[in-house]
Chain A
Amino acid sequence: MSEELVAFRDVWKVYSVGPEGVPALRGVNLTIRRGEYVAIMGRSGSGKSTLLNLLGCLDRPTKGQYHLGGEDVSGMNDNQLSDVRGTHIGFVFQSFNLIPALTVVENIEIPLFYQGVPRHDRHPRSRELARLVGLGDRMEHRPAELSGGQRQRVAIARALANDPLVLLADEPTGNLDSHTTEDILDLFDELHARGRTLIMVTHEDSVAGRAQRIVMLRDGQVESENHLLAKGPAE
């Protein structure tokens, strides 16, 4: 067995709305190992987004522990969490979230920028990543000049820039047509094959079907975990 990369121990998240507060997660236990490809599914309101925010260290659990790469991140302050996001997490969003004023290469190097990687080291790395996702000829373009699929490729390249422990994808194909969706999912498969750990939130069965394991959430709890036997761990 490979090491535990993500470990949730009885994680609660309660939003302070009203006198009682609204619990979004109610004691989630979840373990994800290095190299796994996991899809998280559930209806809206099931706690998917909350779980993803916690996974991505954008938020802190109200109760319980979250170990990422063997490190307890549940008690970290804002600064430390920023560093964890910058080094260990790669985000891929549904709406791409590229910065419109920046070129492809400049967008890709944002995580490197905040980790203090010097300019002359950032450029080669981000160009290499642009080539990796198949955008070698679009490096100086701005997001507005790219198609949806290309934009998502830029976002994936950006997510890979700091060589993160986990790639977190939030409905990565939600804004794409079926053909482009296939392309992006193929790219995910390829990354998975290279040993990346991927966690993807989706509500589409066909998309979730590309993962090794599907975690179903319901009312802030893990309802079921189904291993898709068709695919083995990429080891």
Chain B
Amino acid sequence: MKASHKVMDLVRLGLHSILVHKGRSVLTSLGIIFGVFSVIAMLSINEGAALESERALRELGSDNILIRSVEPPNQESKATAEGRGASVYGVTLRDVARLRDNIPGVMRCVSVHKTQKYAHYLGRNLSVTVLGTEPTYAQAARTDVVAGRFLTASDVLLSKPYCVITRSLARRLFGYLDPLGDTFRLAGEPFVVVGVLSQLPSSLSGQDIDVDNCVIIPISTDRTRFGEYEVMWGQGGSRMEKVDVHQVILQMEGEKQVLDGAAIARSLLGRYHDQPDFEVTVPLELLEQRQKQRRLWNIMFLAIASVSLLVGGIGIMNIMLASVTERTREIGIRRALGAKRRDIIAQFLVEAVSLTTAGGLIGIATGMLIPMGIERALSVPAVISIQTLFWPFLMAVSVGLASGVYPAFRAARLDPIEALRHE
């Protein structure tokens, strides 16, 4: 049998009866329209938000393991000979050597010593964050040198008084003068600016750093010029602190080594530290967590939306049932003229599916406007992907199928004789 054009004919027949009752069709599919609309809006906003946070995490480098020194909660000053009344905690230089030597797959191991100091230049006096680190910091932190150069190995080796500063600091300290090659004082010590960075990745440095106000100097210079103790001025006096390394960035050869490396780092540090004064962060872990979370939200949104689609589907089923009753006579006529049960089923199914498909398309069209509007108005990124459009649409179509099945079978089950007699 010429089945293909019969299918087309049945589709046409289903569409025909929708067009005959335009107003009713629109009202009927309103539930679906709103359902699809809300899913798309929610999904794309969720996707956008998640992508934003994932981008921030990716900035940390998914191949990095970050180890941070943390001041333990019940820290008392260790009045030992070694401590000299200062509070001593955190990752030590020995720890760094252990980490570097014992974790397989470490490509770069970068130590960062962080202090807060004053920078002076031509009568300007600014509080800045000083990072004493190594040349490989540039790669591990994925910094962006906009002028000059980053620190080099020889700078570290020779403890050069060179520094790299962030662009906004350069602007505030030097005004419109070219900072490159110029000298300013950092806590009294002269430093030559050899490079300017655009900005440090905020998430990598941690919340306690003003990422726009950074001076990066060789770690060796930091140690020789400023010593290993830092005096912290606070309310009611000062206290001393000795932290060898504030942050260690272990850049691994690949993402595969990251999770194992982090586990080793945790147990290794745990063996030598009797108090929790370090923290191992794995951006990859966070990233995966975040992605899992995003998927969870997506599923939840789909679940919520499917409730509204369900309600829409019930509406469609209602109208279809009414339509079957109203057209009982027509069904009888068609049956008498040779329509098989499956032809009747097809007719009503096509009608229901077309209603929801059309509703779904309208929902997609309107649902796409909302995220775009939100993006423009609130500058919250919204992502409209094939997926955020495909799933709601598929749901709409299947709701049509599901809600059409019962009315269609009811129509097909009608006895032709009874149906013909129906007034």
Contact = CB atoms under 8 A, between A and B. Distances in A.
A78 B336 CA distance: 12
Interface in A34-74: 53, 56, 58-59
B9 A83 contact: no
Given A83-B338, A97-B332, A113-B13, 12 more contacts: A56-B336, A59-B417, A85-B335, A86-B338, A91-B336, A97-B336, A99-B330, A99-B333, A110-B333, A111-B337, A114-B339, A115-B338
Given A87-B338, A114-B339, A158-B337, A101 B17 contact: yes
B338 A93 contact: no
Interface string A147-172: 00000000000100010000000000
B338 A118 contact: no
A82 B3 CA distance: 17
Nearest to B333: A97
User: Which of A79, A83, A110, A158 has the most chain B CB atoms inside 10 A of its CB?
Assistant: A110
A98 B333 CA distance: 8
A179 to B, nearest CB: 27
Nearest to A110: B337
Interface string A90-106: 01010001110100000
Contacts of B339: 82, 86, 114
A115 B336 CA distance: 13
Interface residues of B, number: 26
A59 B416 CA distance: 9
B341 A116 contact: no
Contacts of A99: 330, 333-334
B20 interface: yes
B144 interface: no
Contacts of A98: 333
Interface residues of A, number: 27
Nearest to B339: A114
B6 interface: yes
B382 to A, nearest CB: 43
Interface of B: 1-3, 5-6, 9, 13, 16-17, 20, 329-330, 332-341, 343, 416-417, 420
Contacts of B17: 101
Contacts of A78: 340-341
A97 B333 CA distance: 7
10 contacts: A58-B417, A58-B420, A83-B340, A86-B339, A99-B334, A101-B20, A113-B9, A114-B340, A116-B5, A162-B338
A71 to B, nearest CB: 16
A68 B9 CA distance: 30
A230 to B, nearest CB: 33
Given A101-B20, A119-B9, A85 B336 contact: yes
- 6 closest cross-chain pairs (CB), A and B: A86-B338, A114-B338, A82-B340, A111-B337, A116-B6, A114-B339
Contacts of B6: 116
A115 B340 CA distance: 10
Interface string A102-129: 0000000011011110110000000000
User: Which of B2, B335, B341 has the most chain A CB atoms inside 10 A of its CB?
Assistant: B335
A162 B337 CA distance: 10
A45 B187 CA distance: 117
A85 B341 CA distance: 13
Nearest to A91: B336
Contacts of B13: 113
A91 B337 CA distance: 8
Contacts of A113: 9, 13
A231 to B, nearest CB: 29
Contact of A110 (B2, B3, B20, B334): B334
Nearest to A52: B417
User: Which of B6, B20, B337 has the most chain A CB atoms inside 10 A of its CB?
Assistant: B337
Contacts of B333: 97-99, 110
Contacts of A93: 420
Contacts of A158: 337
A114 B341 contact: no
Given A58-B417, A116-B1, A116-B2, A79 B337 contact: no
